[in-house]
Structure 1
Amino acid sequence: MTAASLAGLAAPGLSQATGRLVPRVDSPQRIWAKAHLHGLMNLFLPTFREDGRTLDEDAIRHDVRHAIAQGFSGTLPMINWTLPGDPRWGEFHRILIDESRGALPIHGIIASDKVESDLTLLSALEDIGVELVLLASTYPADSSETQLHDLMARRITATELPIMLYAATGRRAFPTLGPAGQPLDVYDRIADLDNVVAVKISQPVSLTSTVQLCQRLGDRLSMGPVNLDFLPLLARHFGIGWSGQWNAEAVQTPDQQIGNRLLGASATGDVAQVDELARQIQPALSHFFAVQAPVIRAGGHPWQHNRYYQWLSGANGGLLPRDPHAPEGAIPVLDAQARAAMRAAYRASGLELTDAPEEQFVVGRAAWARGVRASDLADLPYYSKN
């Protein structure tokens, strides 16, 4: 990004005090967003008992308390293993909402390619009590701007819940509708709907596209890039105060909340503090993104790596079952070399690690306390002891 390209960042919505772009706050949903979208938000992974199917309520409640201790301002339940229609979907969400007691806003997600399916799920999310919905639906690749706008608007206007848009790559990008597949004109129109409050910008989205999104939408919506590497630049021009719905345990612990502090400094425009914290977080952040980005591009998530990061910081841990929706070969195996590299990255950022035995990670803290050991598990997916 050159000085010349940054010179045109001024736009309606500039703060008179700081000269940085800040979202307009007017609707009740945007007032809610201003109060609740700050710092890091994580992805919440389910935990299952030894049969690999029954939800482990004790473990899930432990992880809710851990997310609150991390200072996270929200969490998105990951439902690859408990899809809507499965009774465990409702059970999973109810446990989270009950244990959080309002201290951790629970988000929902709609992600199908069918309007009616998403509307049915929106109604279920309203009934169960989520506080925000991520609009991650997929649309025909040949959609025109009008068609894409209308498909998005039908979902958004069907609820009063705050809606977070999802700027992404791959099957959620539209190469013919905007630079790098980001349909900026469509987002610009959608951003005027009262309950559209924010944009999650996925990690693989480029810096150039991230700046374009912030320029176009930052006067109305709260912008949240996943890629914290961009903050030293973005903090100088935009009011970036949150980043979320990813494996945020990879970069901080409850006692050392580097990520939250980094985003707090960015939100207030304290660029000296941003630069200092960016240097500290860099080893952990770079290692996490190096693991995560290629798997995201392949259509999956590095599930056991994500889980191991959580356990290192004090969460329950425990192996996840095989992901039935991931492309074949997309999810890497968590082996001893990978675990050692993750620990080294943590230490390089000054983060303290759990001192629990590695076998506890395999079964999870709650199951370990019940006397379960790795030999009691029939399957160890995406995991190697060596």
Structure 2
Amino acid sequence: MLDYSVTEARAWAREKFVGAAAVTHPSFTADFSQLNEDAIRHDVLRLKEMGYTGTLLVAEVNITPEENARMAAIAREAAGPDFGLFFHAIYGTLEQNIEAAKLATKSGVDRALLAYPASFWPTSFDEVFDYTKRFTEETQLATMLFPLPAWGFERIHPAGMPVDFVRRVIDELPNIVAIKAEQGYPGIPGLMEMYHHFRDEVVISSPIEADTIPLMSQLNLQYSATANTNWMGDYYPRVFDMARNGQWEEAMKLYWQVTPARAANNTVSATSTPGTNMISRTQWKYQEWLAGYNGGALRPPATKLPDRFMKQLRASLEASGLYVTDSPDEEFVHGRVPARAPKVSIGA
């Protein structure tokens, strides 16, 4: 049950969208037939321990809407009422995303990250607007708009989501409460443009760690969501809070300290699935495992992470002075938290 109305959503988000939000991938039993609920609980509790204020429940993997809703229920029970849970609107069609969002909302999500699936191929911004409008109106979730080159909207306009389109969205859709501004990624033009035009109306989220901390010398950012930063332990929530609270110079000292980890992440991400506009979720899951999260193989079809990349990522954490597990890499695919066997009734 949402504790805000559509018309209250922006004020609610201004209060609640604070700090750093990470990502949480599903974990499964060894035969992939069920969720590993204890592992999901472990991961959410570790995020809270590290100082994160919320997480995206990643659906860009082989997980059903019903399983995603169960994952939301587990996360909400573990994290409590004040931890932000994003629904990941990346199922195959608009209708599927709406239905999955409704299930997840009943189970505890309180916000959404609006993605656009591969089946959606608009040729005008009217079509993009109509998609966005239907999702927000039918789910009523406080929704973060996500301009990103991966959607392919640059065929309509070079910015992907230009200012006049975003202006229309903000004017007409009151539960668009934030912008995860990545137009022109890996550059910063989208972030700077969205901040310039819309920072007083909606929350501007800068998710890219490499950009966010330096830019906070000039930008008054309250939220950084959602990205693969949890693999660096408590570093990112800590330096984000420092930069927000008058300790930017101290934050930058830590920023430079983790340069080896940042560089390795960028290198592996750029070479593991080149030219696909896809995130290697196995890479992110392995990185999380290095940092004490469950890890574990994802359901097929899932990318594989070559051993040479594993070694590079592990060494980069060590070089950055960040926590890294001493467990051997072969344990990653099994996960850190065993799944409990299902209860069987006597006489069944």
Please give the residue correspondences for 1:64-213 in structure 2 after superposition, counting only pairs within 5 Å: 64-79=44-59, 80-84=61-65, 87-112=66-91, 114-138=93-117, 139-143=120-124, 145-177=125-157, 179-192=158-171, 193-202=173-182, 204-213=185-194
Q: CA deviation at 1:142?
A: 0.9
Asked if 2 retains the 8 angstrom alpha-carbon contact of 1:240 and 1:263, the reply is no
Q: Does 1:245 align with 2:226?
A: yes
The answer for unaligned runs of 5 or more in structure 1 is 1-25, 325-330, 371-386
C-alpha spacing 1:37/1:173, structure 2 compared with 1 (3 Å): same
For the 8 Å contact 1:231–1:266, the answer to whether it is kept is no
Provide the rounded CA distance (Å) in 1 between the counterparts of 2:247 and 2:174: 30
Q: Does 1:215 align with 2:192?
A: no
Query: Structure 2: which amino acid aligns with 1:285?
Result: R
Per-residue CA deviations over 1:279-337 (Å, capped at 9, x if unaligned) read: 1232212221222245385143223321221112111122222236xxxxxx35231x2
Give the superposition deviation at 1:367.
2.5
- Counterparts of 2:28 and 2:111 in 1: how far apart (Å)? 25
1:363 matched to which residue of 2?
A: 334
The residue that corresponds to 2:13 in the other structure is 33
- Give the corresponding residue for 1:22: none
AA matched with 2:255: A
TM-score, normalising length: structure 2: 0.84
Match of 1:260 in 2: 237
Q: What is the alpha-carbon distance in structure 1 between the residues aligned to residue 213 and residue 37 of structure 2? A: 40
Matched, 1:311 2:289: yes
Picking from 216, 226, 237, the partner of 1:235 is: 216
Q: State the secondary structure of the residue aligned to 1:157.
A: helix
**Letter in structure 2 aligned against 1:345:** S
Pair 160,38 (structure 1): closer, same or farther in 2 beyond 3 Å: same
**Paired residue for 1:56, among 23, 36, 39?**
36
Task: Tell me the C-alpha RMSD between the 2 structures.
Answer: 2.7
In structure 2, stretches of 5+ residues that fail to align are 1-5, 342-348
Q: 1:275 aligns with which of 244, 252, 269?
A: 252
Residues 100-121 of structure 1: CA deviation (Å, up to 9, x unaligned): 2225322102235744333333
- The amino acid across from 2:201 in the alignment is R
Q: Which amino acid aligns with 2:24?
A: F
Report the TM-score, using the length of structure 1 for normalisation: 0.76
* Matched residue, 1:345: 316
Stretch deviating more after TM superposition (39-48 or 113-122): 113-122
Name the CA shift for 1:234/1:175 in 2 (closer, same or farther; >3 Å).
farther
CA distance in 1: counterparts of 2:262 and 2:255, whole angstroms: 9
Q: Percent of aligned pairs with the same residue? A: 25
* Closer/same/farther in 2, CA of residues 48 and 368 from structure 1, 3 Å limit: closer
Kept after mapping to 1: 8 A contact 2:23/2:230: no
Residue 26 of structure 2 corresponds to: 46
Q: Secondary structure at the match of 1:58?
A: helix
Name the count of aligned residue pairs: 330
Return the alpha-carbon distance in structure 2 between the equivalents of residues 113 and 57 of structure 1.
Answer: 25
Q: 1:383 — aligned with what?
A: none
Query: Match of 2:337, as an amino acid?
Result: A
Amino acid of the residue matched to residue 88 of structure 1?
Answer: E
Give the direction of change, closer, same or farther, for the CA distance of 1:33–1:205 in structure 2 (3 Å limit). Answer: farther
What is the CA distance between 1:136 and its match in structure 2?
A: 0.9
- Structure 1 pair 154–368 and aligned structure 2 pair: CA distance change class (3 A): closer
2:345 corresponds to? none
The 3-state SS of whatever aligns with 2:200 is: coil
Is the 8 Å Cα contact of residues 211 and 234 (structure 1) preserved in structure 2?
no
Give 1:292's match in structure 2, choosing from 254, 258, 269: 269
CA distance in 1, matches of 2:169, 2:226: 21
2:305 is matched with 333
Rounded Cα–Cα distance in structure 2 between residues aligned with 1:119 and 1:308:
30
Q: What SS does structure 2 have at the residue aligned with 1:106?
A: strand
In the alignment, what sits opposite 2:346?
A: none
**SS of corresponding position for 1:55:** coil
